[in-house]
Amino acid sequence: MCEIIFSRIFLGFHVLLLWMAGGLAHAACPLELNPPRLVVRYGDSVSVNCSTSSTDHEGMGWEATFGGTSLEQDVIVVTWTVKNLTDWTIQPKCYITSADGKQCLETFPVILYKIPDRVSISVLSHSGPMVEGTQYQLQCDIQNIAPLQNLVVKWYKGNELLDNVTYSNVSKRPEDVSATLMISPSRDDDGDQYRCRAELDLGPEGPQPHPTVTSEPLNITVHYAPEFLPGNDTVEVSAGSDVSLDCSAEGNPPPELKWTNNTAEGNANEITVGRLRTLNISRVTANATYNCIVTNSLGSITKQIHVLVDVPPQQHPTMFSTAPSTPETMTTLPGTAKPKLVTFSLELNPPRVVVRYGDSVSVNCSTSSTDHEGMGWEATFGGTSLEQDVNVVTWTVYNLTDWTIEPKCYINLIDGEQLSIVLPVILYKTPDSVSISVLNHSGPMVEGTQYQLQCDIQNIAPLQNLVVKWYKGNELLDNVTYSNVSKRPEDVSATLMISPSRDDDGDQYRCRAELDLGPEGPQPHPTVTSEPLSITVHYKPCINASRLPVRIPVFRGYPEELVCEAEGYPQPRIKWVYDPAKHVSEAGGNLTVFEAGLYNCTATNDVATSFIVVEVVLNEDYLPLIAGFVAFMVVVISVIFVVIYSIYYKNNKMGRYSLKKAKLSSTPNGNVAQNGGQDTPLPMTKLSQPNIYF
Ligand SMILES: *[C@@H]1O[C@H](CO)[C@@H](O)[C@H](O)[C@H]1NC(C)=O
Ligand SMILES: *[C@@H]1O[C@H](CO)[C@@H](O)[C@H](O)[C@H]1NC(C)=O
Ligand SMILES: *[C@@H]1O[C@H](CO)[C@@H](O)[C@H](O)[C@H]1NC(C)=O
Ligand SMILES: *[C@@H]1O[C@H](CO)[C@@H](O)[C@H](O)[C@H]1NC(C)=O
Ligand SMILES: *[C@@H]1O[C@H](CO)[C@@H](O)[C@H](O)[C@H]1NC(C)=O
Ligand SMILES: *[C@@H]1O[C@H](CO)[C@@H](O)[C@H](O)[C@H]1NC(C)=O
Ligand SMILES: *[C@@H]1O[C@H](CO)[C@@H](O)[C@H](O)[C@H]1NC(C)=O
Ligand SMILES: *[C@@H]1O[C@H](CO)[C@@H](O)[C@H](O)[C@H]1NC(C)=O
Ligand SMILES: *[C@@H]1O[C@H](CO)[C@@H](O)[C@H](O)[C@H]1NC(C)=O
Ligand SMILES: *[C@@H]1O[C@H](CO)[C@@H](O)[C@H](O)[C@H]1NC(C)=O
Ligand SMILES: *[C@@H]1O[C@H](CO)[C@@H](O)[C@H](O)[C@H]1NC(C)=O
Ligand SMILES: *[C@@H]1O[C@H](CO)[C@@H](O)[C@H](O)[C@H]1NC(C)=O
């Protein structure tokens, strides 16, 4: 009751104060606040003095959700103090009651601010590189900032201020804000960094410099379609001279370049230096058009370059057998070529090469003929010019990287015929990585289950020479070869089915990629072996039945110990299941039973549960009965002996006794002896009915 009345009075007082605040707001209030206003960081301390010039008042004080004071009399200063200001909507008021009963109050303006927890920048609805000329929206996420009306979001590209955003929304409590910026990047913006910054401009009373939080920079990549750099598209040359065709282009990502031609012409040799791409053709003999195709992920463009040959009407050697031959050559070939082939053979030394990708190679092409118009090598790399008066030409490449290279040695005979021989080149590359894994499975394996191991071989060439070998420990399990023919590097996956047994637990599987490149290839064969894969094999529990018969007899009063042992991996947990009413004692896997019943031993591990049910049957214990019977018989027999002896003794010493009488008198003695000599508690009645229990 007391509390309710008090709070009503207190509430009434507040209402009165509020009403008075409305009524007296503009009246001169003899209160001065020091400082007059405050900007406080959330959680900081604050202290404000409210002083009055009036000495004649009935009391003054602070009213606030935190740090309010009671009505104080005979003071001219009251202080509002909060150690940890955390009320976002606090509105402290200093009030005074003058001597004539009038009251007035002054609200203290306080701004609580909070710097954001996090400022992050991202591209909206897009990831990866940007494309020139496309519009993208950058978003700046500012988390937990207050007050919103003092926030300025600034966008930067590098150090250049692009834009600033302010908010007209008024919010005292912290909010999450997202500002956006539209950009349409150009190729020059590639690699630029965008940032956004949240700044709190809290006016002259606020902290200086303004509290700011800046996002991590956002690096942008700007791609654009390939473009040709200016260059000639018609080149005039004199016959037999060399020519360079220019197909320089730019683009991001840097474009790939491909040359095609409509005529088979010249020893082409492409040179690429940055954006400058040049095709060098030696000994041009015929008009031709070359197409230069420049491609990147954003597009493909083609440029035609015409090579015009002003030919003095002289004889020129036909360079290639593939060139449209003059009818003359065609007709003379079948008749005369064969004997010449024998006489002027070309010989390669070595006749075939196996080269590791990027290695150097050098092959001599020699002829026994001294009487020829010239010989040379034709190849995408390392081709030579037509050399006269020699009988050896060498094809040399320092860094062989053309997977499909087919170098050809040719000789021009005097009659205009040409012989050529292609050098067989095998380029190989050992895999970048060989790794082994279990397909669609992780964790321990279970005995008897099939698993598929996979061997991933990355970037190997040539496929037809690859042998994948599977090992368990050091034992070779399987080897796999490929009939696929591929000159370029490929990724290959070989698989092996295994069905592990418990003995395989802890075994290590490995796979090895071996390149068997024939007798010309490197010896020993280049191999790359995977890291070993260790397997764990679990198997289900198996209860040792030899120690746990299915049926066990138990004698009354003699408990039997049932030993349940099980083998399994992981080690099985043993549990006995039985009628809880039974009298047993359990220790480890051993159960001591006293009564008949079914006792179920279960062994459980992660793999499975096995159980054996033991039937315990109760047998009466005949040992005491038999012992009792034997003892009784011993007593009876000994009594009979005593009687016989005493009769014999009396007959000899004391006179005549009838044997019949002596036997009769001995019977009570026998009973007494039996009762005294037998300790077993078994009653005599049991003797008469043992067969019931057999
Ligand atoms: C408030 O007044 C007390 C003395 O009454 C003085 O010590 C203190 O510095 C004053 N605080 C402010 C913020 O003026
Ligand atoms: C201020 O109060 C807030 C919320 O009650 C609490 O989390 C913070 O630890 C306090 N700070 C200090 C310095 O007492
Ligand atoms: C914000 O941008 C406006 C014009 O967009 C500019 O007048 C003002 O100075 C900028 N403010 C700041 C703090 O840079
Ligand atoms: C500001 O107010 C407008 C209109 O109520 C609302 O649409 C907008 O989401 C608010 N902005 C923020 C940052 O809360
Ligand atoms: C952005 O670019 C800078 C400088 O070029 C570099 O140091 C930084 O690692 C890049 N950041 C990311 C996320 O790529
Ligand atoms: C064309 O090529 C010639 C030399 O072959 C050169 O002098 C000339 O400047 C080139 N023209 C253009 C437009 O590049
Ligand atoms: C022109 O075509 C022939 C036959 O297709 C080819 O052997 C030759 O390398 C090509 N030249 C160029 C520069 O592509
Ligand atoms: C190449 O073409 C030009 C003009 O089209 C012609 O004058 C010249 O004879 C041709 N050269 C050959 C080798 O055909
Ligand atoms: C061989 O060429 C490849 C590709 O052009 C290059 O990456 C490599 O560095 C070169 N190696 C040598 C030894 O020049
Ligand atoms: C590969 O396996 C086959 C039979 O599967 C065997 O004959 C051959 O010797 C094995 N090769 C190697 C290199 O072990
Ligand atoms: C269970 O019995 C076996 C054989 O009687 C004994 O070796 C083993 O220690 C016993 N285990 C426990 C936990 O008592
Ligand atoms: C023995 O116990 C196991 C598990 O507790 C149960 O699955 C099984 O059916 C039981 N066997 C019998 C015969 O009650």
Region 350-367 average pLDDT: 91
Q: Which ligand is nearest to the CA of 77?
A: 1
How much of the chain, in percent, has pLDDT values that exceed 90?
45
Q: What is the pLDDT of residue 195?
A: 96
Q: Which residue has the tokens 């303004």?
A: 210
pLDDT band with cut points at 50, 70 and 90 for residue 2: very low
pLDDT at 336 over 90: no
Region 292-314 average pLDDT: 82
CATH of domain 30-113: 2.60.40.10
pTM: 0.45
Q: Which residue has the tokens 């009354």?
A: 556
Cα 121 to middle of ligand 5, angstroms:
14
- Please work out whether the CB of residue 309 comes within 6 Å of at least one atom of ligand 8: yes
Domains 30-113 and 539-619 share a fold: yes
Q: What is the pLDDT of residue 400?
A: 92
Instruction: Report DSSP state, residue 438.
Output: E
How much of the chain, in percent, has pLDDT values that exceed 70?
83
The residue nearest atom 7 of ligand 4, judged by CA position, is: 169
pLDDT band with cut points at 50, 70 and 90 for residue 553: confident
Q: Are strands 110-113 and 38-41 parallel, antiparallel or unpaired?
A: parallel
The closest-lying atom of ligand 11 relative to the alpha carbon of residue 589 is 13
Q: What is the dihedral of CA 421, 240, 269, 231, to 10 degrees?
A: -160
The residue nearest atom 13 of ligand 12, judged by CA position, is: 613
Neighbours of 140 (CB within 10 A): 24
Q: How far apart are CA 366 and CA 361, in angstroms?
A: 16
The closest-lying atom of ligand 7 relative to the alpha carbon of residue 279 is 13
For a substitution probing ligand 8, which of 311, 315, 316 has the most ligand atoms within 8 Å of its CB?
Answer: 311
Region 284-294 average pLDDT: 83
The closest-lying atom of ligand 7 relative to the alpha carbon of residue 266 is 11
Q: What is the pLDDT of residue 330?
A: 31
pLDDT at 237 over 50: yes
Average pLDDT across the chain, whole number:
82
Q: How far apart are CA 109 and CA 82, in angstroms?
A: 15
The residue nearest atom 14 of ligand 3, judged by CA position, is: 164
Q: What is the pLDDT of residue 267?
A: 54
The closest-lying atom of ligand 4 relative to the alpha carbon of residue 168 is 1
Q: What is the pLDDT of residue 316?
A: 39
Cα 501 to middle of ligand 12, angstroms:
27
- Of 17-26, 211-220, 225-234, 281-290, give the lowest mean pLDDT range: 17-26
The alpha-carbon radius of gyration of the chain (Å, integer) is 54
Q: How far apart are CA 224 and CA 243, in angstroms?
A: 31
Q: How far apart are CA 285 and CA 265, in angstroms?
A: 8
Strand partners, 479: 469
The residue nearest atom 13 of ligand 3, judged by CA position, is: 164
Q: What is the pLDDT of residue 3?
A: 38
Q: How far apart are CA 41 and CA 36, in angstroms?
A: 17
Q: How far apart are CA 354 and CA 425, in angstroms?
A: 6
pLDDT at 152 over 70: yes
Q: How far apart are CA 579 and CA 160, in angstroms?
A: 84
346 vs 63, residue with greater confidence: 63
Cα 40 to middle of ligand 1, angstroms:
17
CA distances from 609 to 524, 546, 549, 578, 591 (A): 51, 19, 19, 16, 19
pLDDT at 611 over 70: yes
- Of 17-31, 185-199, 468-482, give the lowest mean pLDDT range: 17-31
The residue nearest atom 1 of ligand 7, judged by CA position, is: 264
The residue nearest atom 6 of ligand 1, judged by CA position, is: 49
- Please work out whether the CB of residue 479 comes within 6 Å of at least one atom of ligand 10: yes
Of 306, 311, 319, 536, the C-alpha closest to 408 is 319
**HSE of 255 in the Cβ direction (CA atoms, 13 Å)?**
26
Q: Where are the domains of the chain?
A: 30-113, 539-619, 627-653, 656-694
Cα 154 to middle of ligand 3, angstroms:
9
Q: How far apart are CA 313 and CA 326, in angstroms?
A: 15
Tokens for 610? 């096995």
Q: Which ligand is nearest to the CA of 524?
A: 10
pLDDT band with cut points at 50, 70 and 90 for residue 272: low
Q: What is the pLDDT of residue 383?
A: 87
Please, is 3 exposed, middle or buried when counting C-beta atoms within 10 Å of its C-beta (0-12, 13-18, 19+)? exposed
Range from 11-15, 71-75, 331-335 that averages highest in pLDDT: 71-75
For a substitution probing ligand 11, which of 564, 590, 592 has the most ligand atoms within 8 Å of its CB?
Answer: 590
Return the CATH class of domain 539-619.
mainly beta
Beta-carbon contacts of residue 450 (< 8 Å; ≥ 6 apart): 497, 498, 499
pLDDT band with cut points at 50, 70 and 90 for residue 260: confident
Q: What is the pLDDT of residue 654?
A: 55
Residue-wise pLDDT tens digits, 12-67: 344 344 444 444 444 578 899 989 999 999 999 999 999 998 888 889 999 998 98
- Please work out whether the CB of residue 36 comes within 6 Å of at least one atom of ligand 1: no
